[in-house]
Amino acid sequence: MPATHLRILTLNIHKGFAMGPRRLVLSHIRSQLRDSKADLVFLQEVVGDNQKHSRRVRHWPAETQLEYLADTVWTHHAYGKNAIYQHGHHGNAILSANPFRSWDNIDASFVNFSQRGFLHGVIADDIHLLCIHFGLFEKERRLQTTRLIEHVNRSIPTDAPLIVAGDFNDWRQTTHRALLNGLGVNEAHETAHGACAKTFPAFLPVLPMDRIYLRGFDIHACTTLSGNHWREFSDHCAMITDVSLRNT
């Protein structure tokens, strides 16, 4: 699919483990991502390296989780290392069917025990991509929201197409309102259905946590992928939208 028509998916992969009993489900996640036919995949809690898991977890991939999930389907990908610990690190990732012109990871950590960042990439047609995983605390999210708005307004031209997707941990929708007002974006599920999608917890979604915000696109459809197959893969539902680049 050309860059002017895109299918976009976002999912917090829970470091590749299923909810409940600790069971690696990366191969199932990879299969479902392939079946989605998404052109752009925004992932959160992707493990870049974990020496303990590589020794102890059965079927842990020899390559990174990012490379394993991308396989031969998304030949272009970027990873932003956020949480760093003695035996490894994890962060956000973007898989793309189109090449990256550039990418960078923007620090958004405001408390010592919660390391966060915005993964910012640019692909063809000057489309800017931001993969987000906000913190669990209201004050932390408020500061991260301010930093995100400042970064976008400072670094991205107002007429450039923009996609901001990920896990916002924003069940009160305070960040949601700030982004609508501060960035001039539309949220895909709200545009298609009148309200943000309930995506957490996956087995019985009641909280609107995961979002896809867009600027410069027409939104054609949006849904959560929360059927029997998807519920096993994370504590969050996947979310997917079909869009087209708006003519200017």
Mean pLDDT across 113-128:
90
Mean pLDDT of the chain: 90
Is-contact 153 186, C-beta < 8 A? no
In this structure, how many other beta carbons lie within 10 angstroms of the beta carbon of residue 160?
15
Mean pLDDT across 119-131:
97
Please write the tens of the pLDDT for every residue from 83-106. 656 676 678 999 999 999 999 999
Place of tokens 């990908």: 77
CATH number of 5-245: 3.60.10.10
Please write the tens of the pLDDT for every residue from 137-164. 999 999 999 999 999 999 999 999 999 9
**16 DSSP 8-state letter:** G
The reported pTM is 0.93
> How far apart are the C-alpha atoms of 170 and 144, rounded to whole Å?
12
